[in-house]
Amino acid sequence: MDRINLEEFVWFDLSPKPPEMVINVSETGGFTFNRPAREALPPNIKIGILPDGKTVCVMEDPASGYTLPKSGAVTRPELIKHIVSAGIILPARYIMRREGGVWIAELQTPTMKRRPPAKNPRKISKSAEESILKELRDGKRR
C-alpha cells in the first residue's frame, strides 16, 4: 500500500463558528438586532446609515439616552424610510462587525429561495376540458 501524503489533502476547520451579529429589516418596518448583536452592543447607542442605505454604523452614545430594548427591535420609521428611499428592497439583512470603536453593518445580497419543482399537473380528459371551456364562454363559470 502506498503511503498517504497528508499535504495533498484540503483540510477544514470544524470548530464552531462564532455567532453572526445581524440586523434584520423586515417588510413590516422592523429594524431588529439579533441576540449576538444585542449582547455585543453597549446599552446606549445611536445609529447612522450611509445615503446609499448599504452600510449601517452603530456607536455608543451615553448622551443620547436611547437604550436598545431587550427584544432588539428599534421602532423608528425614519430608519426604514431612509433604507427604502435609498432603493434597498425589503426584507434586508445586514451583517455586523466591530471596527475600532464602532459596529459596522454591511448589506448582504438577498438569496433567492429556490422553490421546489412543481408536481406534474393533473391532466384532465378532453371532454372535461371542452366542458370547462364551454362553461367559460357561456359565463356559467368564473
Instruction: Write the pLDDT tens digit of every residue in 32-78.
Output: 999 999 999 998 999 999 999 999 999 999 888 788 888 999 988 89
Instruction: Write the pLDDT tens digit of every residue in 79-109.
Output: 999 999 999 998 999 999 999 999 999 999 8
Domain, as residue range, for 80: 21-107
* Neighbour tally for 41: CB within 10 Å: 19
Number of domains in the chain: 1
Q: Is residue 119 part of a domain?
A: no
Q: Is residue 88 part of a domain?
A: yes
> In the sheet where 55-60 sits, what is the strand order?
45-49, 55-60, 102-107, 92-99, 21-25, 31-33, 73-74
Would you say 66 and 80 are in contact if contact means Cβ atoms under 8 Å apart? no
Phi, psi of 25, deg, nearest 5: -115, 115
Q: Range with the lowest mean pLDDT among 4-8, 15-19, 67-71, 120-124?
A: 120-124
Q: Is residue 54 part of a domain?
A: yes
Phi, psi of 60, deg, nearest 5: -70, 140
Q: Is residue 121 part of a domain?
A: no
Q: Is residue 122 part of a domain?
A: no
**CA 5: distance to chain centroid?**
43
Q: Is residue 125 part of a domain?
A: no
β-strands 45-49, 55-60: how paired? antiparallel
Q: Is residue 16 part of a domain?
A: no
Q: Is residue 52 part of a domain?
A: yes
